[in-house]
Amino acid sequence: MAKEQKTNAMRFLEKCKISYTVQTYECDEFIDGIHTAEKLGQPLEETFKTLVAHGKSGAYYCFQLPVAEELDLKKAAKSVGEKSVELIAVKDITKITGYVRGGCTPIGMKKQFMTVVHNTAENMELFYISGGKIGVQIRLSPKELVSAIRGKFEDIVLN
Q: Which of 153, 154, 132 is nearest to 14 (CA)?
A: 132
Are 99 and 132 in contact, with CB atoms under 8 Å apart? yes
Q: What is the pLDDT of residues 71-93, one digit of tens each?
A: 999 999 999 999 999 999 999 99
Q: Which pLDDT band holds residue 26 (cuts at 50, 70, 90)? A: confident
Q: What is the pLDDT of residues 112-142, one digit of tens each?
A: 999 999 999 999 999 999 999 989 999 999 9
Domain boundaries, the chain: 8-154
Average pLDDT of the residues in 33-53: 93
CATH topology of domain 8-154: YbaK protein (3.90.960)
Task: Quote the pLDDT of residue 21.
Answer: 96
Q: Which of 133, 138, 137 is nearest to 29 (CA)?
A: 133
- Alpha-carbon distance of 117 to 85, in angstroms, equals 16
Q: Which of 137, 138, 131, 68 is nearest to 105 (CA)?
A: 131
